[in-house]
Amino acid sequence: MTDAAPARTPRPAARILLVDAAARVLLFRFVVPGRAPFWVTPGGALDPGESYPQAARRELREETGIEADPGPEVARRLVDFVSVEGVPVTADERYFRIDVTAAKVDPAGHTELERRVMTQWRWFTPTELAAHDPDADGAIYPVDLAAMLAQTSGADEGESG
């Protein structure tokens, strides 16, 4: 008898590649009990009945305080992981690049869970992404973030901020 892998819950999610005028990308550092810290882009699961662009706009506002049109989807990833709530998921992540002139983050819209696990945020330059040591400060997801940013540069001609 073999142990079957736990069933995975589908998790549609909108993620934001938020890039400031200095070409830095915003990442949030998560510290979840029992797991190594990690960094991720702003974003999260869709609410029932919500489209990916609607979720991107909402998540951007809730997590950063920035109100902006997410523009077109620029990338898609299907990935298996365990959510911060401990649920095994298969995430259908759609990425939206938003270029902003201002780099101020307002965490007032964070949920109670986000306040507990999203311990900090910072803007990473492309050089810092390339030099980042996951053993020292936590992995960055998606793992190909630098390439994704390079491929989407100029994808969103409009600026917000």
pLDDT tens for the chain, 161 residues: list them: 556 666 899 999 999 999 999 999 999 999 999 999 999 999 999 999 999 999 999 999 999 999 999 999 999 999 999 998 889 999 999 999 999 997 789 888 888 888 888 889 999 999 999 999 988 889 999 999 999 999 988 644 444 44
Name beta bridge partners: 94.
14, 76
Please report, as a single letter, which amino acid is at residue 161: G
Task: Find out whether the peptide bond into 10 is cis, omega within 30 degrees of 0.
Answer: no
Measured in degrees and rounded to the nearest 5, phi and psi for residue 28 equal -105, 140
Please, what is the end-to-end C-alpha distance for the chain in angstroms?
57
As given in the structure block, the two tokens for residue 9 are 């819950």
In the block, tokens 């882009």 appear at: 41
Note whether 131 and 140 are within 8 A (CB): no
What does pTM read for this prediction? 0.88
Cα Rg of the chain, angstroms = 16
